[in-house]
Amino acid sequence: MFAYIVRRVLATIPVMAIVALFVFSLLYIAPGDPAAVIAGDQATPADVERIRASLGLDRPYLVRFGAWLWDILRGDLGTSIFTNLPVATMIRQRIEPTLSLMIVTLILAVSIAVPMGVVAAWRQGTWIDRAVMGFAVLGFSVPVFVVGYVLAYIFALELDWLPVQGYTPFSRGFFPWMENLILPAVALGSVYIALIARITRATMLEVLQQDYIRTAKAKGVGQRSILFVHALKNAAVPIVTVIGIGMALLIGGAVVTESVFAIPGLGRLTVDAILRRDYPVIQGVVLLFSFIYVLVNLAIDLAYTLFDPRIRY
Amino acid sequence: MAIMKVSRRSALLLAGGALAAPRIADAQANARTLRFVPQANLSNIDPVWSTAVVVRNHGLMIYDTLYGLGADFRPRPQMAAGHEITEEGRRWTITLRPGLRFHDGAPVTARDCVASIQRWAKRDVLGQRLDGLMDGIAALDDSRFEIRLKKAWPGLAFALGKPSANICAIMPERVARTDPFTQITDYTGSGPFRFRQDLFRPGDRMIYERFAGYAPRSEPADFLAGGKQVHFDRVEWIVMPDPSTASAALQNNEVDWWETPLPDLLPLLRRNREIQTDLVNTAGNLGVLRFNFLQPPFDNPAIRRAVLPAVDQRAFMNAAIGTDPALSTIPAGVFTPGTPLANDEGLSVLSGPRDLEAARRALREAGYRGERVVLLSATDLPVLQNLAEVAADMLRRIGFNVDLQAMDWGTHIQRRTNRGPVDAGGWSAFCTTWEGLDVSVPGSHMPIRGNGTNAWAGWPTLPRLEELREAWFEATDLAAEQAIAREIQRVTWQEVPFIPLGQVLPLMAYRRSITGVVKGGPALFWGVRRA
């Protein structure tokens, strides 16, 4: 197992290298010029060139890529063209809100969606099953930003229970932190809950048809034990896979959710950087997201062994 | 030893007080803090390096200027106590007010001003004129410096106090020695607010604190001139990219002031009794349709003129900011309506009855051969996108073969630097807006520049307009400036380097507890207080 983990961690290196090459090349060929954005309309072409040179954007592709890669290998993500702040500092400033949002959403989604899916499968064909599936369809169909606006309208503007926007760091207390995260997490989690609930239901329906479930029932095992110990554990592998895949959904959804709730996270940092063509920031954030995604996939693969002892690495 | 007895009632009161104390302290701190939602993220903080409007607004908070414009758009001494002009206008001796200090406590000296002017003069359009005219600049002593000119320039005080980007921000000499094409890293300012660099979170929050060492002038505040009295200890700029969120935050009392509410959210805000919508930036923005002079078909002046009878400024303004006539001004000429140089010279080309048939006829007679007209549209800026949609429709209706190309602003900015033909990634026309303060005078009015390859994108070569601009710099009184402005407008209708599309007057929204907002231009944070 340990050797497998080491191999997988080492395997992230070529993956990250390919991502780095891809991101850098994509930005290189993408239209847009930060020097023109900075220079403004009053600038002469010579001014724009001078700014481009001062930013090192006039150097050939290979030279720029080589310099960037060398910096990355030394642990330096570079400096933002616009803010003059190190990219690592900007990421550090923004990572807590995004991680907080993703963790709270993940906990919320799994703790709601899995029981929902289990109950829907158990009560297949009843009004409970239809209600759960109806909710799932709604969760898939309604965009995250619409859910966000509706929640903010009801719980912030009308009831005045929660703030409309912003983020309070965890260091200022659990409740203030949570106060700012409840609405965004519910909004972001809606589609995630729908996804996990549907997969849980479908997998559970399949497992509940198995012979060993019938045997357990014949032996007089309680309903709760059958559902959550025998069936759910055997249905867990596809559910865990979907939870892992859904992390990409969360990362993408966080961009929208952070904008709707004015949460200063990595999603907004990425969008701002793309709009301004702040290349070092875009490259740094995309690399980080890729790394997180690779690690999540590794964690999911390792989790399989917990649910299915037949899986060995 | 005496033992103090505490009753249960007293203990409860004490505990209640202890619990309430932080909330009371928070409320008191909030009362001294102004929470403001700016128009955009403050992505960089050097007002000489960047021309972004939001950076200029930041610059006005933390830096002071030697001169400041009053509400009448005339310059008045600000950091300067006054000046003496000798040698037939070629030598300006400027004396600083006593008691001026930088945020690090050091006194503002003439050497700081000299270095600041020299850096600004390399980047700003009026600064570059000064740079070309300057025969020398030197500190005479700690409080006086002189500027020697090759020829007289009556507009020097205006240039040093210009309100549009780039402002001539006065920085410590050590900071102002930075290459003008490189960002500064030391934000020690001279203005009424101190920037908390340690709390700078771009894309989220910028914190400004009242600078206790600032010495305001004794006169009342008058736009960018007069006494900049600060009544808040702290101003927080909170970046909110989503307008609906900013609107909800303002309604929920989570922020006090929102700089750029969307026009379609104004009715919602007006229904809230706690919120006031107000025209603060009376200069607004001028909508502009810009042509590329280097490529067909708009390299032909007759084709450019053919568009004029079709331009319906009301349609452009309705699309840009909505149908409320209070949110825009038409007809708008070359100069910002409501400012001293705005005039009605030949304005009937835009204010008379619109005549699409006349435009079609003029286009045929001008020899248009169906060349593709690439019209650029920036989809992430709704006002510009809407102006481009109306322009595309207008041009199609009079017979142009229009190719409306949608892109984000970052691409738009780069694309319009391409001088090549449309088949090689070039362009024919685009719509944009200019800050009303910029286009209120010829000196900073980029759309009228006719200096060829050094002109604003479109690159017209129009020597007559350049001559008139030059004449404006040398005008000695307002009457002379106004005569020149009329002539500039007359030539503009002949050469059509651009077409004005109307003046956009975006409102700001703030809670009624906020009073004393200074009007005339961008959001300013002196004079304003909590009622």
- Mean pLDDT for B367-373 is 96
Residue A56 shares a structural domain with residue A176: no
CB B35 within 8 A of CB B255: yes
Residue A106 shares a structural domain with residue A62: no
Question: Which among B204, B254, B415 is the nearest to A164, CB-wise?
Answer: B254
Residue A72 shares a structural domain with residue A131: no
Decide if pLDDT at B492 tops 80. yes
User: How much is the pLDDT for A255?
Assistant: 85
- Domain edges within chain B: 44-177, 193-277+508-530, 285-504
- Mean pLDDT for B523-527 is 95
**Domain-located, residue A9:** no
Chain A residues with beta carbon closer than 8 angstroms to that of B417: 33, 36, 45, 48
Decide if pLDDT at A15 tops 90. no
Q: What proportion of chain A, given as a percentage, has pLDDT over 90?
A: 42
pLDDT tens-digit series, residues B325-334: 999 999 999 9
Chain B residues with beta carbon closer than 8 angstroms to that of A37: 410, 413
pLDDT tens-digit series, residues A259-274: 999 999 998 899 889 8
Using CA atoms, how far apart are residues A183 and A262, in angstroms rounded to an integer? 12
Q: Residue A256's domain spans which residues? A: 94-307
- Mean pLDDT for B271-300 is 96
For helices B463-474 and B478-495, angle between their N-to-C axes, nearest 10 degrees: 170
User: How much is the pLDDT for B467?
Assistant: 97
CB B266 within 8 A of CB B277: yes
**Domain-located, residue A132:** yes
Q: Which helix (H) or strand (E) holds A85?
A: none
Peptide bond into B166 cis (omega under 30): yes
**ipTM higher than threshold 0.85:** no
Which two structure tokens, joined as six digits, stand for A36?
A: 């023109």
Q: Inter-chain contact B241–A268, Cβ cutoff 8 Å?
A: yes
CB B246 within 8 A of CB B240: yes
**Domain-located, residue A44:** yes
Residue A261 shares a structural domain with residue A134: yes
Nearest chain A residue (CA) to B380: A275
User: Confidence class of residue A313 from pLDDT cuts 50, 70 and 90?
Assistant: low
User: How much is the pLDDT for B28?
Assistant: 58
For helices A87-122 and A232-260, angle between their N-to-C axes, nearest 10 degrees: 130
- Mean pLDDT for A170-197 is 94
- List all residues 6 or more positions away from A190 whose beta carbon is below 8 Å from its beta carbon: A139, A142, A144, A147
Residue A116 shares a structural domain with residue A29: no
pLDDT tens-digit series, residues A113-144: 999 999 999 999 999 999 999 999 998 899 99
Total of domains in chain A: 2
For helices A61-73 and A279-307, angle between their N-to-C axes, nearest 10 degrees: 50
Chain A residues with beta carbon closer than 8 angstroms to that of B246: 262
**Domain-located, residue A70:** yes
Chain B residues with beta carbon closer than 8 angstroms to that of A51: 181
Q: Inter-chain contact B44–A83, Cβ cutoff 8 Å?
A: yes
Residue A47 shares a structural domain with residue A164: no
Decide if pLDDT at A8 tops 80. no
Question: Which among A82, A93, A275 is the nearest to B44, CB-wise?
Answer: A82
Decide if pLDDT at A248 tops 80. no
CB A264 within 8 A of CB A271: no
Q: Inter-chain contact B201–A260, Cβ cutoff 8 Å?
A: no
**Domain-located, residue A2:** no
- Mean pLDDT for B444-458 is 92
Decide if pLDDT at B6 tops 50. no
Residue A165 shares a structural domain with residue A208: yes
Is the Cα torsion angle A169, A174, A176, A181 positive or negative in sign? positive
Question: Which among B50, B205, B249 is the nearest to A38, CB-wise?
Answer: B50
Q: Which CATH number fits domain B193-277+508-530: 3.40.1280.10, 3.40.630.10, 3.20.20.10, 3.40.190.10?
A: 3.40.190.10
User: How much is the pLDDT for A104?
Assistant: 95
Cα torsion at B482, B488, B489, B490 (round to 10°)?
A: 110
**Domain-located, residue A63:** yes
Q: Inter-chain contact B410–A271, Cβ cutoff 8 Å?
A: no
User: How much is the pLDDT for B26?
Assistant: 57
User: How much is the pLDDT for A101?
Assistant: 95
Q: Inter-chain contact A262–B203, Cβ cutoff 8 Å?
A: no
- Write down the pTM of the prediction: 0.85
Question: What topology is assigned to B44-177 in CATH?
Answer: Dipeptide-binding Protein; domain 1 (3.90.76)
Q: Which SS3 state, helix, strand or coil, does residue B222 take?
A: strand
Using CA atoms, how far apart are residues B429 and A53, in angstroms rounded to an integer? 29
Residue A106 shares a structural domain with residue A57: no
User: How much is the pLDDT for A31?
Assistant: 77
**Domain-located, residue A204:** yes
Closest CA to B428 of B438, B416, B436: B416
Mutate to test the interface with A, among B242, B381, B439, B456 (most CBs of A within 10 A): B242
Q: Inter-chain contact B248–A165, Cβ cutoff 8 Å?
A: yes
The enclosing domain of A251 has a CATH number of 1.10.3720.10
Q: Which helix (H) or strand (E) holds B77?
A: strand B75-77
Residue A34 shares a structural domain with residue A109: no
Q: Which of A4-13, A14-23, B85-94 has the highest mean pLDDT?
A: B85-94
User: Confidence class of residue B526 from pLDDT cuts 50, 70 and 90?
Assistant: very high
User: How much is the pLDDT for A49?
Assistant: 84
**Domain-located, residue A99:** yes
Closest CA to A49 of A35, A29, A60: A35
Across chain B, mean pLDDT equals 92
Residue A260 shares a structural domain with residue A118: yes
Across chain A, mean pLDDT equals 88
Q: Chain centroid to CA B174: how far?
A: 27
CATH classification (class only), B285-504:
alpha beta
User: How much is the pLDDT for A42?
Assistant: 67
Question: Which among B52, B239, B245 is the nearest to A261, CB-wise?
Answer: B245
pLDDT tens-digit series, residues B22-67: 445 555 567 799 999 999 888 788 999 888 889 999 999 999 999 9
Decide if pLDDT at B12 tops 50. no
Using CA atoms, how far apart are residues B458 and B452, in angstroms rounded to an integer? 9
Using CA atoms, how far apart are residues A253 and A191, in angstroms rounded to an integer? 9
How far A217 CA sits from the closest chain B CA (Å)? Answer: 53
Nearest chain B residue (CA) to A157: B252
Residue A150 shares a structural domain with residue A71: no
CB B136 within 8 A of CB B93: no
Q: Which residue has the higher pLDDT, A35 or B389?
A: B389
Nearest chain A residue (CA) to B250: A164
pLDDT tens-digit series, residues B107-118: 999 999 999 999
User: How much is the pLDDT for B239?
Assistant: 93
Nearest chain A residue (CA) to B446: A42
Helix boundaries (H) for A78-126 = 87-122
User: How much is the pLDDT for B15?
Assistant: 46
Is the Cα torsion angle A62, A64, A70, A72 positive or negative in sign? negative
pLDDT tens-digit series, residues A227-238: 888 888 888 888
User: How much is the pLDDT for B8?
Assistant: 44
